[in-house]
Amino acid sequence: MSVLTELRTIRVVPVVEIENADDAVPLARALVAGGLPVMEVTYRTSAARTAIERVAAEVPEMIVGAGTLLSPANVTDAAQAGARFGVAPGCGGGVLAAAREAGLPFVPGAVTPAEIMDCLAEGCDVVKFFPAGSYGGLGTLRSLAGPFSAAGVRFVPTGGVSPDNLADYLAHPAVLAVGGTWIAPRKDITAGKWAEITERARAAVQVVEAAA
C-alpha cells in the first residue's frame, strides 16, 4: 500500500512542531495509542530532522512525514532522516524535482487553479490546500474541486481545520485527508501532555469513523 493510500484510509494527519527531539517518540506513541499512526513533523525547528530519525527508528508503526519543506535541501534532508512522505506549502522552488529524485511521496501546496495545474503538470494529483481557512475554507475547496474532479485531484486541507468543521471537510469526496495542529499543539508537546493528545487523536478517529 502506498503512503498516500494509507493517508486516504487514516484521513487525519496531525501536523506537529517539535522543539525538543526527546519529545518525538513519546508524541508518536501517544498518537498511535489514539488510533492515528501518522504525523507530519514540520521543518520549523532545528529538532525536526532528529525527531524524524528517532520516530522512524523507534516507532516503526508510525508513518512519519516531513512538512514545511521549502527547498530541495529540506526535501533531501527529510528523506535521509527517514521521512515516508513530504509536504510543502507551495509547489515551486524545485521541491517536486527533489522529491522525485529522492523517491519521496510528496504533497505540494496549491490554492489557485493555476497552482493546481502546475502540480498536475509535475505529476501530482494530491495537493495541500493551505492555509484553508484564509482562502475560503470548504467553500473554496468545493469550487476548486469542480473543474479538477475529472483530473482526479484530491485535496489535503490544512490550516483552519478544527473539531468544529472536521466532519464537513471529511464529507467532501475530493478531500483525501485533512491536516491540523489541534490534536498535538506545540504547547502540549512541550508540556508532555501525552494523555490529552491521545484523547484528541481518539476523538478525531471517531469523527473519521462516523464520516465513513
| Residue 110 main-chain phi, psi, to 5 deg | -160, 135
Residue linked to cell 493551505: 130
Annotated active-site residue 128? The verdict is yes
Catalytic residue among 40, 53, 61, 209: 40
Cβ pair 112, 132 in contact under 8 A: no
Cell of 112: 489557485
Partner residues linked to 15 by β-bridges: 40
What is the C-alpha to C-alpha distance for residues 30 and 25, in angstroms, rounded to an integer?
Answer: 9
- Is the separation of the CB atoms in 209 and 201 below 8 Å? no
User: Within 10 Å of residue 11's Cβ, how many Cβ atoms?
Assistant: 23
Q: Which of 122, 128, 196, 199 is catalytic?
A: 128
Residue 122 known to be catalytic: no
Residues with catalytic roles: 40, 128
